[in-house]
């Protein structure tokens, strides 16, 4: 058993509590990882506010990179010292999604179940004598974590962990939504709603795919400079207009965009993103985690004329196969990650990190 520091969320809508936790050794087919760097993602915050329902107490965090500390019985593909990225969408290699080419959402994922436990139904974390839940099979807001071997990818030993940790969620989610899910084509027009880390990664993906026009949409104009730096050709703040944003985008483009992306997780922007894409062959992709207990009402004529509405989890990438390749692409300078990193904080200042997230900084 390892004793270490972790940021425990005891109950909803409270700050993280830095506690000493006990991390059990890995069981059969499990890997214990020393976390070296972790990103903060809005999905973690959704659990705190109740928009994403998970059991408490819990150790959040799902976007990280680290080093294998030890492996459980039967683990052959990892050894202590390997550099790795935990995968919040596992790849078991046995279910229909893993075996087929159509999807990437492995049946062993905890996103749908929300059970907050390891695949065997137990936890590896204890604090003050209490069992602490895992989050999406990863739990990276801790110095050590235990993950199932299907939920970890070995990466290039030369990769800088404080940068490639973003490939564990935010970057891959946005980049893949453009390249894998929407399959953006050269010369096309795209609209991206929401310019956080994931939205900016969608812009990077659209640019790599060869889009000729990329319209960035956000109610925070402070985000526009970075969006332009990464490839946005136009920036639009809905607050600057009297009319609905989808009408503004229709006027800007004539017939609407070829591809739109909702990267916020709001139902009103999801319908706006659908309405702003070309009425016959436009594709709109939902990338932001939708809030619990909210429903969408929309005019079915929007779909009847031929538009496609899609969702994308982890950018459509098969996690175990794709993460090492994405790290290699980063090492080969196919894309940049530095502009996505706005602040670096010591682990004990995690609450300040979440304040920065909530204030759009």
| Residues acting as catalytic residues | 41, 43, 46, 62, 169
Angle between helix 267-275 and 245-253 (nearest 10) = 20
Using DSSP, state whether 87 is helix, strand or coil.
coil
For residues 317 and 287, is the Cβ–Cβ distance under 8 A?
A: no
CB atoms within 10 A of CB 70: 18
Candidates 138, 77, 159; CA nearest to 327 is: 159
Distance CA 38, CA 7 (A): 12
Candidates 42, 256, 247, 38; CA nearest to 145 is: 38
Distance CA 87, CA 82 (A): 15
* Token code pair at residue 200: 């900016």
Largest CA distance in the chain: 62
Residue 84: CB partners within 8 Å, gap ≥ 6? 31, 33, 65, 66, 67, 68, 78, 152, 153, 154, 155
* Token code pair at residue 330: 């980063």
List the Cα angle 209/187/274 in 5-degree steps: 80
List the Cα angle 267/221/233 in 5-degree steps: 90
Instruction: Classify residue 25 by its DSSP letter.
Output: P
H-state helical runs in 210-256: 224-229, 245-253
């Amino acid at each position: 058993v390892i004793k270490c520091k972790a940021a425990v969320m005891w109950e909803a809508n409270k700050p993280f509590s830095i506690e000493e936790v006990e991390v059990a050794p890995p069981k059969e087919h499990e890997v214990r990882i020393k976390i070296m760097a972790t990103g903060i993602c809005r999905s973690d915050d959704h659990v705190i506010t109740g928009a994403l329902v998970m059991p408490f107490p819990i150790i959040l965090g799902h976007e990280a990179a680290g080093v294998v500390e030890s492996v459980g019985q039967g683990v052959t593909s990892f050894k202590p010292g390997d550099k790795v990225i935990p995968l919040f969408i596992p790849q078991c290699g046995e279910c229909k999604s893993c075996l087929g080419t159509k999807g990437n959402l492995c049946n062993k994922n905890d996103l749908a179940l929300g059970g907050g436990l390891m695949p065997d139904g137990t936890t590896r974390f204890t604090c003050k004598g209490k069992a602490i839940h895992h989050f999406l099979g990863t739990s990276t807001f801790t110095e050590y974590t235990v993950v199932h071997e299907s939920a970890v990818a070995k990466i290039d030993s030369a990769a800088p962990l404080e940068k490639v940790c973003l490939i564990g969620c935010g970057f891959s989610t946005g980049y893949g939504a453009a390249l894998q899910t929407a399959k953006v084509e050269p010369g096309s027009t795209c609209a991206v709603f929401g310019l956080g880390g994931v939205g900016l990664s969608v812009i990077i993906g659209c640019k790599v795919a060869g889009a000729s026009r990329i319209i960035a949409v956000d109610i925070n104009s402070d985000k526009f400079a970075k969006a332009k730096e990464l490839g946005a050709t136009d920036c639009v703040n809905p607050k600057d207009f009297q009319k609905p944003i989808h009408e503004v985008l229709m006027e800007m483009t004539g017939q609407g965009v070829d591809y739109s992306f909702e990267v916020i997780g709001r139902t009103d922007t999801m319908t706006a993103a659908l309405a702003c894409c070309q009425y016959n062959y436009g594709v709109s992709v939902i990338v932001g985690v939708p809030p619990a207990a909210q429903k969408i009402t929309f005019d079915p004529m929007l779909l009847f004329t031929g538009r496609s509405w899609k969702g994308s989890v982890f950018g459509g990438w098969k996690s175990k196969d794709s993460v090492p390749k994405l790290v290699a692409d980063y090492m080969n300078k196919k894309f940049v990650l530095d502009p996505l990193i706005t602040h670096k904080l010591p682990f004990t200042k995690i609450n300040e990190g979440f304040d920065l997230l909530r204030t759009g900084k």
